[in-house]
């Protein structure tokens, strides 16, 4: 099965900073060298090595059903770089691909308590490797036969994040859903949240702090971007921004610049006085100048801006 194109960067040394500068989601090639039992750790790890002999550890438990063995060539997605600079890779699933739909044999409906302590309907299915998976957000799904068509929207630690096909809508390569605010909501994990329902009747929780200027109150209907999927089984929802549209360009005033070990950054201001930080890459922007920036994404109520060098 075809997957995303491999990254074409040439690594000139064994230094791992090449990965810290790569885009999350980029795919690199490794050789599985051996299995390793780390002292004082009950887990067993795969040791993977890149062409420049930099090595990384991947927990065997998450991927042993794939049948990997020493000597195998693994394509791995750059999954995360944490605040400590630790780099995490996700081996590409040999069969399933993000964004595609597959038929799964199911074992019926089940009600679980989700990450927020809410009851959620899920459907238990079995994948081609014999692993049990859950189809999330399954309210209103009719189980007429022994198979269910579900879409893979996320893969993390070898687990599939599945939703019923067509549950959310793709537009311009992004996933969208329609939601209604049901109530203000306080959870053990988050103080100020909003309880939402999607068009199929599934419950969702959205952190409210970042959207105080959006006038979201009980009874409000809105179109929301599914910005990310959590391995804990929920989605991050971004309401349409009131001022900035995705992929459009806007003028900003450069109010300050700075440089650190990763490159140049700039602080830019819009015509409402809001200030945002952007990566200006290799060249510093000129303080006091105006720049044309693209809205690449939204994150916690703010536009994610980029300059096209």
- Give the per-residue pLDDT at 12: 36
Listed residue (78, 100, 102) closest to 91, CA to CA: 78
The CATH number covering residue 253 comes to 2.40.50
The structural domain count of the chain equals: 4
Of 6-10, 84-88, 195-199, which range is least confident?
6-10
Mean pLDDT within 190-201: 87
CA 7 from centroid of its chain's CA atoms? 19
Mean pLDDT within 169-178: 89
- Cβ neighbour number for residue 256 with a 10 Å cutoff: 14
Range of the domain at 41: 17-91
Domain finish residue from 91, 112, 130: 91
Q: Which two tokens stand for residue 251?
A: 């003028």
Q: Flag whether pLDDT at 14 surpasses 60.
A: no
292 within some domain? yes
Regarding whether 158 and 196 lie in a shared domain, the answer is no
The answer to whether residues 73 and 12 touch, using CB atoms and an 8 Å cutoff, is no
8 within some domain? no
Q: Which two tokens stand for residue 153?
A: 């929207």
Reduced to 3 states (helix: H, G, I; strand: E, B; else coil), residue 61 is: helix
- Give the per-residue pLDDT at 10: 36
The answer to whether residues 167 and 149 touch, using CB atoms and an 8 Å cutoff, is no
Of 1-5, 256-260, 285-289, which range is least confident?
1-5
- Cβ neighbour number for residue 132 with a 10 Å cutoff: 10
1 within some domain? no
Mean pLDDT within 143-172: 89
| Percent of the chain predicted with pLDDT > 90 | 57
Domain finish residue from 91, 119, 143: 91
More confidently predicted of 146 and 21: 146
220 within some domain? yes
5 within some domain? no
Domain finish residue from 91, 110, 141: 91
147 within some domain? yes
Task: List alpha helices for the chain, DSSP H.
Answer: 17-20
Of 17-26, 63-72, 131-140, 232-241, which range is least confident?
17-26
Regarding whether 230 and 201 lie in a shared domain, the answer is yes
DSSP track, 66-111: GT--TT-EEEEEEEEE-TT--EEEEEPPSS--TT-EEEEEEEEEEE
133 within some domain? yes
Mean pLDDT within 4-10: 46
Q: Flag whether pLDDT at 244 surpasses 90.
A: yes
Regarding whether 253 and 231 lie in a shared domain, the answer is no
Regarding whether 230 and 183 lie in a shared domain, the answer is yes
Regarding whether 48 and 113 lie in a shared domain, the answer is no
- Ranges 14-18, 76-80, 90-94, most confident: 90-94
- Give the per-residue pLDDT at 224: 96
- Cβ neighbour number for residue 93 with a 10 Å cutoff: 20
209 within some domain? yes
Q: Flag whether pLDDT at 281 surpasses 80.
A: no
C-alpha 115/C-alpha 193 separation (Å) is 14
Regarding whether 86 and 107 lie in a shared domain, the answer is no
Q: Flag whether pLDDT at 38 surpasses 60.
A: yes
Q: Flag whether pLDDT at 143 surpasses 90.
A: no
The CATH number covering residue 74 comes to 2.40.50.140
79 exposure class (CB count in 10 Å sphere: 0-12, 13-18, 19+): middle
Q: Which two tokens stand for residue 30?
A: 């490794």
């Amino acid at each position: 099965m075809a997957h995303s194109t491999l990254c074409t960067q040439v690594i000139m040394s064994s230094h791992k900073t090449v990965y810290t500068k790569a885009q999350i989601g980029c795919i690199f090639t490794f050789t599985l060298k051996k299995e390793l039992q780390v002292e004082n750790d009950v887990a067993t790890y795969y040791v993977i090595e890149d062409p420049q002999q930099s090595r990384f550890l991947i927990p065997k438990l998450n991927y042993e059903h794939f049948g990997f063995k020493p000597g195998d060539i693994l394509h791995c997605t750059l999954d995360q770089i944490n605040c400590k600079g630790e780099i995490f890779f996700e081996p590409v699933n040999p069969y399933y691909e993000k964004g595609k739909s597959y038929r799964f044999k199911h074992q019926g409906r089940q009600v679980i308590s989700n990450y927020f302590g809410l009851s959620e309907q899920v459907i238990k299915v079995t994948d081609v490797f014999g692993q049990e998976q859950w189809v999330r957000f399954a309210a209103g799904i009719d189980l007429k036969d022994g198979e269910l068509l579900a879409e893979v929207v996320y893969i993390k630690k070898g687990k599939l994040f599945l939703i019923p096909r067509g549950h959310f809508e793709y537009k311009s390569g992004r996933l969208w859903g329609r939601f209604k605010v049901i109530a203000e909501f306080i959870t053990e994990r988050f103080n100020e949240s909003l309880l939402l329902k999607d068009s199929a009747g599934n419950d969702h929780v959205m952190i409210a702090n970042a959207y105080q200027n959006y006038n979201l109150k009980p009874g409000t209907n809105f179109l929301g971007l599914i910005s990310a999927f959590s391995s804990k089984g929920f989605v991050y929802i971004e309401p349409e921004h009131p001022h900035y549209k995705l992929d459009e360009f806007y003028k900003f005033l450069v109010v300050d610049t700075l440089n650190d070990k990763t490159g140049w950054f700039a602080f830019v201001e819009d015509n409402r006085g809001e200030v945002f930080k952007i990566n200006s890459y290799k060249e510093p922007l000129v303080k006091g100048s105006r720049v044309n920036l693209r809205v690449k994404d939204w994150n916690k109520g703010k536009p994610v801006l980029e300059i096209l060098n």
